[in-house]
Chains A and B, each alone.
Chain A
């Protein structure tokens, strides 16, 4: 579909990150990530579990904007059971990253020295436990050299180099799956698990990505284009999941 916006392309790329996940809990941060996860559930991953953002599991899909349907609660996930669930591994989280490096080390704790940060951000939150316990992806709406950095100030989410140092036993559940930005899709499917440009969103050039990335990416000879949304997907996004189009505020076309 040629009339898809960049934000809608991103949402479909997010949905694709959840393909094959089956019956696990999906947790998302950021509007576009939330739209993408719902899209996956309404199309090719109907078994995904999602919460209402508090502690109920919803059997129906909760739109990110517009009128909310009556929730159909299928389960209860107080914080106590969330840590059990995530350490048990039946989860795929899509977190944000204030900084990320070529190995997938992520920081959203603070900028500068931890002892006296220039900017206190969210803190460690659940990133250490998430990244060592189950599949993790990242959604980055503002691809820039300030986010894609040579070295993160503080490591809150574990990257592949650090996981490798922990040895195969401890790191066996570590799995940084995809990084999706407003410019493209990235993965770690290289011999030494360095970040690779997996696809470019329509209208984005390799040069633009290189220019806006603060480290050297692995780039193949022919980089494919990110899959375009289908007509059905666009209809679901625009009419069911995000009728107010709030994802357009996160990623400008």
Chain B
């Protein structure tokens, strides 16, 4: 079996109005080469489910997002994603579905397990219930009869994640400190694409990291894409840290339309290979 493919092939499967999940967390191990491919594509009206980082600011800036399902959108070293902030304050995201961070996990987990919902207390008593009018309550059928939120399954059409290593069969390996929710995104989606820093032979996976780092097994991935620097400018330890200088440059364009147009022309409306060459030269 050989699941190797390209960002272009993966994004060609996207249709207007689809629901996509994007792995990673904040400005950490985001599948940015896929995000950049989506920006260059004509696709629109996406529902985006994410522990948000720069992909949210970028997708909003390009007018790709119809509905955003999220717990936060942060660049970590910059606590609030400035392009996202701008989109929110302009009312530019048509459907905002802000959740508690744990509820997002629960929705992905429910979808992964093919359950209609999972119960939780998180959200009760807060404006999460008003912001998300679809949310319903469920009463425990047991003696306690506790009322809980029935967090609905967040079923995804497509999921995109970025790993440190993978093989061509679709086994994925993270080598950083946290696997985030990447396995859940894949299990919650109909089609799953995994970019990685390096595709290696299966027999070398355990030379890279312990058994526990093999979080993605090949039932979870339909396509594997070798994308060195694919998470840039987000961090992808131990391969590389966050490119703080580049991230600051990106963040600064939120307040300056001319700088944004220049940034976009230089880094985004160009092929991925050119992007990688430019950032390597800086």
Interface pick from B141-149, B153-161, B186-194, B266-274: B141-149
Q: Which of B71, B72, B96 contacts A114, CB < 8 Å?
A: B96
22 chain-A/chain-B pairs, Cβ below 8 angstroms: A54-B177, A54-B178, A79-B178, A83-B105, A115-B96, A116-B89, A120-B85, A122-B79, A124-B100, A125-B71, A127-B100, A128-B100, A128-B123, A128-B128, A129-B121, A131-B126, A155-B125, A155-B126, A162-B125, A166-B147, A167-B147, A170-B147
Q: Is the CB of A125 within 8 A of B72?
A: yes
Q: Is the CB of B177 within 8 A of A166?
A: no
Asked if B88 CB lies within 8 Å of chain A CBs, one says: yes
Asked if B275 CB lies within 8 Å of chain A CBs, one says: no
Within 8 A of B (CB), among A173-192: 173-174
Asked if A87 CB lies within 8 Å of chain B CBs, one says: yes
Which interface residue of A79, A109, A125 has the most chain B CB atoms within 10 A? A79
Name the CB-closest residue of A to B184.
Answer: A80
Per-residue interface assignment for chain A, residues 145 to 156, with 1 indicating a CB less than 8 Å from any chain B CB and 0 otherwise: 000000000111
CB of B144, distance to nearest CB on chain A (Å): 6
Name the CB-closest residue of A to B90.
Answer: A116
Q: Is the CB of B148 within 8 A of A170?
A: yes
Q: Which of B25, B71, B80, B121 contacts A132, CB < 8 Å?
A: B121
User: B-side interface residues toward A, CB under 8 Å?
Assistant: 25, 51, 70-74, 79-80, 84-85, 88-91, 96, 98-103, 105, 120-128, 130-131, 144-148, 177-181
Range, interface on chain A: 35 or more
Instruction: Give complex CA distance A156, B125 in Å.
Output: 9
Known: A120-B80, A170-B148. A158 touches B125 (CB 8 A): yes
Asked if A249 CB lies within 8 Å of chain B CBs, one says: no
B residues within 8 A CB of A122?
Answer: 72, 74, 79-80
CB of B254, distance to nearest CB on chain A (Å): 12
Q: Is the CB of A126 within 8 A of B100?
A: yes
With A120-B88, A129-B123, A133-B121 given, can you name 5 additional A-B contacts, CB distance below 8 Å?
A128-B103, A128-B128, A131-B126, A156-B127, A158-B125
Asked if A169 CB lies within 8 Å of chain B CBs, one says: yes
B residues within 8 A CB of A72?
Answer: none
Q: Which of B88, B101, B103 contacts A110, CB < 8 Å?
A: B88
Instruction: Give complex CA distance A83, B99 in Å.
Output: 14
Q: Which of B79, B88, B103 contacts A129, CB < 8 Å?
A: B103
Per-residue interface assignment for chain A, residues 207 to 220, with 1 indicating a CB less than 8 Å from any chain B CB and 0 otherwise: 00000000000000
Per-residue interface assignment for chain A, residues 32 to 62, with 1 indicating a CB less than 8 Å from any chain B CB and 0 otherwise: 0000000000000000000000111000000
B residues within 8 A CB of A78?
Answer: 177-180
Q: Is the CB of A170 within 8 A of B146?
A: yes
Name the CB-closest residue of B to A110.
Answer: B88
Q: Is the CB of B181 within 8 A of A170?
A: no
CB of B73, distance to nearest CB on chain A (Å): 7
Asked if A157 CB lies within 8 Å of chain B CBs, one says: yes
Asked if A86 CB lies within 8 Å of chain B CBs, one says: yes
CB of B138, distance to nearest CB on chain A (Å): 12
Asked if A234 CB lies within 8 Å of chain B CBs, one says: no
Per-residue interface assignment for chain A, residues 8 to 29, with 1 indicating a CB less than 8 Å from any chain B CB and 0 otherwise: 0000000000000000000000
